[in-house]
Amino acid sequence: MNPLQAVIKSLSDVFVDIMPGILAAALLSGLTGVLSQWDVVENNATLYGINKLVSLASNGIFNILPLAVCYSACKRYGGKPILGLVMGAIMLDGSLANAYEAAQGLVQPDSISLFGLNIELVGFQGGIIIALMMGFIVAKLDIFFDKKIPDVVKLLFSPMCSVLISTILLFTIVGPVGRLLSTGITNGLVWMTQNLGALGYMVFAGVQQIIVITGLHHIFGAIEAQLLADPAIGRDFLNPLMSVALMGQGGAVLGYLVLNWKNAKARELCIPSFISTLFGISEPAIFGVNLRNKFPLVAGCIGGACAGAYVFFSKLTALGFGTTALPGLAICDPANNGYFHYIIAHLIALAIGLVLTVVFGKVLSKKNTAAKA
């Protein structure tokens, strides 16, 4: 494999172990999203209680996703998995200011001085790329110290040195770089949608699901809230773009399923992954199918981009944020035949993602066959 393929394979391996948790949470999240729209659930004490428990179960893995990723990455790169858990726990420590609240100015984080640098003590909720990097770092440090420290004191000092140095790197280098990356990507994408017309919409919808891979997409919630609160705007134009971007990946999963229908393992993974996209959760589709096979991810991004252009020309917006795909119909702005355009935009993303995945898959299959011959 070339370096890029090796990196993608490595990332996919990290998410294999945590995929069951993501799938369970995705389907439960979709279920509670639907139940919450029904008045009978809100008015019946038992149904309301059941929905509360479903909501609690659906949030579990996403609340600790950086911890799970750090654990799996440390394991994948040869370190002791428990050290990955420790680093993930440090990233989400309760004494740190919540990253989402800090980004919205709702809390004032404490700060410390380290080597002359002012370090704000903010957590890393949603910091998937940072968690991946920290899992890799703590694993390599663990391997290094296990080799260098004498056996008689290895158990005492090797884990301590690995965790301490990793923590310092987290707050001084890895964390700030990851946050700088997230801010730059977010601001750049929002600027494009506001200044480049249909092209900006296409770029945003085309790459938004790649942002999901990094975990930086959580930052968009604060921007969506600002759009709704701004009297000059009052509508969320990012929500339908994120929704069609997600549906493009769902179409790509269906395309991959068509190509591999006879493969029981593919059916086992693709069907629940697609169902989760219908309820607004794309992580199972991305990490379980599309990223691992590469060409479905590209096809899904193209499908999202094409649907993004339709969103622009149809002036499709949302009255709220936080839900997409089928549940997203509940917050779709009905102005300008909004419900009709919402459905059409998603069908465009789904169809193009599906068709291109089949086409790309058959082309690659022919090339591989020709190369072997």
- Encode pLDDT of 203-261 as tens digits: 989 988 887 776 666 567 656 755 665 555 667 788 899 999 999 999 999 999 999 98
139 has pLDDT over 70 = yes
Determine the Cα–Cα distance for residues 258 and 162; give it in Å rounded to an integer: 46
Tell me the one-letter amino acid at 80: K
Please report, rounded to a whole number, the percentage of residues in the chain having pLDDT higher than 70: 88
When pLDDT is averaged across residues 326-354 and rounded to a whole number, the result is 89
Report if pTM > 0.85.
Answer: no
**Stretch (H or E) spanning 120:** strand 117-120
Determine the Cα–Cα distance for residues 272 and 268; give it in Å rounded to an integer: 7
Q: How is residue 17 written in tokens?
A: 């172990």
Look at residue 30 in the predicted model and tell me its pLDDT.
Answer: 67
**C-alpha angle 100-104-109 in degrees, rounded to nearest 5:** 70
Contacts with 257 (C-beta within 8 Å, 6 or more apart), sequence order: 266, 267, 270, 271, 274
Average pLDDT, the chain: 85
Contacts with 359 (C-beta within 8 Å, 6 or more apart), sequence order: 299
86 has pLDDT over 90 = yes
Helix orientation angle between 238-259 and 295-314, rounded to the nearest 10 degrees: 140
77 compared with 215, residue with greater pLDDT: 77
Q: How is residue 114 written in tokens?
A: 């380290």
Q: Judge whether 18 and 68 are in contact, CB under 8 Å.
A: yes
Query: DSSP class of residue 320?
Result: S
Look at residue 105 in the predicted model and tell me its pLDDT.
Answer: 78
Sorting pLDDT into bands at 50, 70 and 90, what band is 8?
A: low
Q: What pLDDT, in 10s, does the model give residues 42-55?
A: 888 999 999 899 88
Task: Of 230, 44, 235, 73, give the one whose Cα is nearest residue 138.
Answer: 73
Q: Residue 95 to residues 110, 122, 125, 218: CA-CA distances in angstroms?
A: 9, 9, 13, 21
Look at residue 319 in the predicted model and tell me its pLDDT.
Answer: 78
Query: DSSP class of residue 119?
Result: E
Q: Judge whether 250 and 277 are in contact, CB under 8 Å.
A: yes
Give the number of other CB atoms < 10 A from CB of residue 365: 11
Look at residue 257 in the predicted model and tell me its pLDDT.
Answer: 93
Residue written as token pair 């994120």: 242
When pLDDT is averaged across residues 31-37 and rounded to a whole number, the result is 77
Look at residue 216 in the predicted model and tell me its pLDDT.
Answer: 60
Q: Which residues of 310-331 are buried (b: 16+ CB within 10 A; e: fewer)?
A: bbbebebbbbbbebbbbbbbeb
Q: Judge whether 221 and 100 are in contact, CB under 8 Å.
A: yes
185 has pLDDT over 80 = no
26 has pLDDT over 70 = no
Look at residue 145 in the predicted model and tell me its pLDDT.
Answer: 94
180 compared with 344, residue with greater pLDDT: 344
Task: Of 60, 61, 62, 89, give the one whose Cα is nearest residue 74.
Answer: 89
Within 230-287, where are the H helices?
Answer: 238-259, 264-278, 283-285
91 has pLDDT over 60 = yes
Distance of CA 83 to the CA centre of its chain: 23
92 compared with 42, residue with greater pLDDT: 92
**Stretch (H or E) spanning 350:** helix 338-372
Beta bridge partners of 97: 122
Q: Judge whether 361 and 270 are in contact, CB under 8 Å.
A: no
Tell me the one-letter amino acid at 199: L
Contacts with 14 (C-beta within 8 Å, 6 or more apart), sequence order: 69, 72, 73, 76, 132, 135
Look at residue 354 in the predicted model and tell me its pLDDT.
Answer: 95
Query: DSSP class of residue 112?
Result: E
